[in-house]
Structure 1
């Protein structure tokens, strides 16, 4: 009799432990529990200790943490008929556990599929230059469209980033040639602009020199001096180029030697050409 009583107590305790294990759940801070009672959703509980009615209540755990979803590479034909292979990453989280469980069978799978189709649809409307240079605008457009479509499921899409854009090798070579041609064009434009400015400065200098012929002679002599320093050569130049300078120098000398009131000094006549060794 006592043995039967002990066996009954042990069985009752075992059943009680099993029922307690089946009815007690502990949820972490980032988890929520959607509780169904006889198939009907009754409440969203957590975090902490959650008590369930054994064999009647069923619980579905939902994480509220941000999920990083890698979108598989998608083959996209851009608006200018260029084939590109694009992959992206999406950051989203569950904001309504009830809708995430009740409104969609698998919110993770559904979000992945809607991200792939939206990626192909949006990027197919842009040309290749826009896809390469205006990613920020495309990311914002993708985020808005995906977030609007996943909102009924209790999903909030916070960020969409295009990670990589792969284009064919032939297109890469064509873009490299285009970039090189653009750089060469800019170099030619800069060179032409420099020549134009130099010509303008030379024109201004010529206008200044033309007002005084002696200045031209001095400039010519300076050029000859520079040539003589750089290389040992014989230079032959016409005397007419320096004749005005010589006449001015001789006149000044004679004027200083003659008494006041005398006439002008005689003009110095010389050979037509002179030879100078440097």
Structure 2
């Protein structure tokens, strides 16, 4: 009997020690403990050493660090009826552990599902060109909508980034042809703009040369220098356009003087 009593005391001592040690919990700097007292929310404790009464209080640990969540590829139909596959990455953190534990069953799964549906909804309101070129605007819209939706869960969405947009091969070829046509259009516009500017400069140069006839003669001599070469035996001498008009007038005047008199003058 004495031995049994000793064994019982030893067993009770071990149980007391185990209960005493289980009362103490250590939470890291980035962790918080949501304490429930008899099933009801009591308070938030941590970080450091905290006391939890066994069988009366329960603790749920919550990580406050930023969570990096990959949003799986989603089939999105754009506003111009083009099917693309888009994936993204989501950055968020728990700001209110009480809401994250009480208001939603699994805040990680809920945030992931909400991000997928929101991305399909937002990207479906834009055309393909906007999805490819205006990613900053789309990222800001996704972040704002997700942040508003998860505020009731005590979660702060800091960043949403679209990583990759997969297109069909036929659509890639169509986009390449569109880009080529756009480059050709820009080249024609640049060429036409250059011709317009050159014509304006030539008109201004003609006005300045017309004010001083000596300048035109100097321009003729410069032209001869540019077109001449060392081994060439042909000399090209430009003539002014006015010389042709003067010769034509002289020829017409000579033809009038050589015409015979009309029959009325003879009589």
Q: TM-score, normalised by structure 2?
A: 0.79
Tell me by how many angstroms 1:112 deviates: 0.4
Aligned to 1:234, what secondary structure does the other structure show? coil
Q: Which moved more, 1:215-224 or 1:30-39?
A: 215-224
> CA separation in 1, counterparts of 2:191 and 2:120?
45
- Match in the other structure for 2:70: 70
Aligned to 1:115, what secondary structure does the other structure show? helix
Instruction: Say if 2:115 is the partner of 1:115.
Output: yes
- Match in the other structure for 2:32: 32
Tell me by how many angstroms 1:211 deviates: 5.1
- Do the aligned partners of 2:23 and 2:53 also contact (CA within 8 Å) in 1? yes
* Unmatched 5+ stretches in structure 1: 244-278
Tell me by how many angstroms 1:114 deviates: 0.6
Query: Which runs of at least 4 in structure 1 moved beyond 6 Å after TM superposition?
Result: 238-241
- Match in the other structure for 1:165: 165
Q: RMSD of aligned C-alpha atoms?
A: 2.6
Q: Which moved more, 1:57-66 or 1:167-176?
A: 167-176
> CA separation in 1, counterparts of 2:33 and 2:189?
69
Report how many residues are paired.
Answer: 242
Tell me by how many angstroms 1:173 deviates: 2.2
Q: Deviations over 1:23-65 (max 9, x none)?
A: 2211112111122233222222222222222233222111111
Aligned to 2:99, what secondary structure does the other structure show? helix
> CA separation in 2, counterparts of 1:238 and 1:81?
65
- Match in the other structure for 2:199: 199
The 1:216–1:114 alpha-carbon spacing in structure 2 relative to 1, beyond 3 Å, is: same
> CA separation in 2, counterparts of 1:39 and 1:75?
43
Q: Which moved more, 1:209-218 or 1:97-106?
A: 209-218
- Do the aligned partners of 2:220 and 2:238 also contact (CA within 8 Å) in 1? no
Tell me by how many angstroms 1:113 deviates: 0.5
Q: Deviations over 1:112-149 (max 9, x none)?
A: 00110001001100111221222222222111211121
* Unmatched 5+ stretches in structure 2: 244-267
